């Protein structure tokens, strides 16, 4: 039975007026069969440039993929123009042939099935930065810096391949459940080579909130246009608000061209002055004053992250806990900066007495470090252990994605630090090691303690 969706053109038009939606040349009310090519459609997961994206199943290779579909467009005999959706399909297909990079989503196959074009792509389980945009949720600043640095590396590679993305925005940056960062959707990309088959710059094609001044005015675009767009994304992730706001697109465009970006520290005075200067450089109206490459911007971001003082890293809800946190045996042997960086990607979790904090055989990709309260482990063998402040649980799911080996029963009310494996994986590689060392130390300490208790029981 074919899948169909309501016509969303009115909603999209309203979004365009508010400067939230990119220009698109295809209505998204076309019908899609339950199977396209060799792929069985499972669920709609979003929309990209000129197409709808589904989670689909590849039965031959036994894996989920992301499948973007769009209507096949034919040449207009009167105007001689190719419809935008068809052009986007060709553009993304041509781009995909060049862009093999860890931080760019992989395209497996492109094809046509009946009246539909399709692109089979790597399925990324996680969330796009759109889920954190405009203050819906906020990521710790240190994590934002590291995510943006990885996108910088993606666009640096793209630019070296002669491709300008032209639609850098939160919805096109995915963070997977394992912490991988992926740049999506090269449907309106352009080439910096005059002899290339990719498109050339077109005025007002992109997403208004993240378009560079030269993109708005239809001037020739280069890599520094993507640098500006990524700066606009970073501004939003750090402040919880979009760079410029306006009721109508033309007013938004006027602001992009003429208004100076607000200083970062006028909104977030807790962030380093160096980060404010870096962001101002990205958002300069003059492309020549921006970073020359994504690589240069990534290097500058990581240098700032290395200098961020521990208090700058810690979420407000956790600052009052820091005197206790630093004395926990879980953090024994680690300096204040390493502890702060662990806490920077943490949140507080609370469990009431008599509850099960974590059930045996469940998968939870978090590790929990007890700040106060007592719990016990119960694995069904008759052996158990008591966990108190400084102990952790959930390591198997955090490190390997394995099922929990025991029930974690709450004996007295517990407050714990909760850290997702994806949040640690999103940090720079050099910053990940201390996190895993802390967890390894805790496991070793617990096993030594359990062995001592067993030897004591045998002796008695």
Nearest Cα neighbor of 146 from 240, 275, 338 is 275
CA distance 24 to 70: 12
| Closest C-alpha to 325, from 306, 305, 348 | 348
Rounded Cα gap, residues 408 and 388, in angstroms: 12
Euclidean distance between CA atoms 361 and 404, whole angstroms: 5
Residues 6+ apart with CB under 8 A from 98: 161, 162, 163
The rounded distance, in Å, linking the Cα atoms of 266 and 269 is 6
Whether residue 402 lies in the annotated active site: no
449, 385 in Cβ contact below 8 A? yes
Handedness of CA 244, 191, 277, 102 (dihedral sign): positive
- How far apart, in whole angstroms, are the C-alpha atoms of residue 234 and residue 275? 10
Alpha-carbon separation of residue 255 from 211, 226, 245, 258 (angstroms): 11, 18, 8, 5
Q: Which residues pair with 406 in a beta bridge?
A: none
CA atoms in the 13 A half-sphere facing the CB of 316: 4
| The two structure tokens encoding residue 286 | 């003059």
Q: State both tokens at 170.
A: 């939160």
Cα–Cα distance for residue pair 89/456, rounded to 1 Å: 69
**Among 25, 30, 27, residue whose Cα is nearest residue 10:** 27
**Residue 275 structure tokens:** 């980060």
* Rounded distance between C-alpha atoms, residue 38 and residue 212, angstroms: 40
Residue 346: CB partners within 8 Å, gap ≥ 6?
315, 318, 369, 417, 418, 419
**Percent helix, strand and coil across the chain, each rounded to 5?**
40, 20, 40
Give the helix/strand (H/E) hosting 92.
helix 84-96
Choosing from 58, 167, 338, 364, which is the catalytic residue? Answer: 167
Q: What is the DSSP string of 354-398?
A: TSEEE-TT----EEEEEEE--EEEE-SSS-EEEE-TT-EE-HHHH
Question: Which positions are annotated as active-site residues?
Answer: 167
């Amino acid at each position: 039975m074919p899948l169909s969706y309501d016509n969303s053109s009115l909603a999209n038009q309203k979004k365009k007026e508010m400067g939230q939606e990119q220009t698109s040349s295809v209505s998204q009310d076309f019908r899609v069969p339950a199977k396209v090519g060799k792929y069985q459609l499972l669920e709609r997961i979003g929309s990209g440039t000129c197409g709808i994206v589904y989670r689909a199943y590849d039965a031959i290779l036994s894996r989920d993929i992301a499948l973007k579909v769009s209507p096949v467009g034919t040449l207009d005999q009167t105007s001689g123009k190719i419809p935008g959706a068809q052009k986007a399909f060709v553009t993304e297909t041509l781009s995909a042939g060049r862009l093999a990079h860890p931080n760019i989503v992989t395209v497996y196959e492109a094809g046509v099935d009946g009246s539909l074009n399709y692109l089979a792509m790597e399925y990324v389980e996680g969330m796009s930065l759109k889920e954190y945009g405009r203050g819906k949720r906020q990521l710790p600043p240190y994590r934002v810096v590291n995510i943006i640095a990885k996108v910088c590396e993606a666009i640096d590679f793209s630019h070296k391949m002669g491709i300008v993305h032209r639609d850098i925005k939160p919805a096109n940056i995915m963070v997977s459940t394992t912490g991988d960062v992926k740049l999506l959707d090269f449907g309106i990309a352009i080439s910096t080579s005059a002899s290339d088959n990719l498109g050339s710059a077109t005025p007002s094609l992109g997403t208004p909130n993240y378009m560079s001044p030269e993109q708005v005015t239809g001037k020739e675009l280069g890599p520094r246009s993507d640098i500006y767009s990524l700066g606009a994304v970073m501004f939003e992730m750090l402040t919880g608000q979009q760079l410029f706001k306006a009721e109508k697109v033309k007013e938004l465009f006027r602001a992009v061209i003429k208004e100076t970006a607000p200083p970062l520290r006028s909104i977030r005075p807790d962030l380093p002055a160096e980060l404010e200067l870096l962001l101002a450089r990205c958002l300069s109206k003059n492309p020549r004053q921006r970073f020359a490459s994504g690589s240069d911007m990534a290097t500058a971001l990581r240098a700032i992250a290395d200098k961020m003082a521990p208090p700058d890293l810690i979420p407000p809800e956790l600052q009052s806990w820091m005197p206790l946190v630093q004395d926990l045996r879980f953090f024994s042997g680690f300096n204040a900066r390493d502890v702060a960086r662990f806490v920077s990607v943490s949140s507080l979790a609370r469990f009431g007495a008599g509850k099960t904090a974590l059930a045996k055989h469940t998968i939870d990709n978090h590790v929990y470090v007890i700040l106060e309260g007592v719990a016990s482990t119960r694995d069904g063998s008759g052996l158990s252990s008591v966990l108190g402040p400084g102990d952790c649980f959930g390591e198997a799911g955090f490190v390997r994605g394995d099922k929990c080996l025991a029930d974690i029963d709450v004996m007295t009310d517990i407050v714990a630090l909760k850290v997702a494996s994806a949040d640690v994986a999103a940090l720079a590689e050099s910053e990940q090691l201390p996190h895993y060392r802390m967890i390894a130390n805790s496991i070793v300490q617990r096993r030594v303690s359990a062995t001592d208790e067993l030897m004591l029981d045998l002796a008695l």
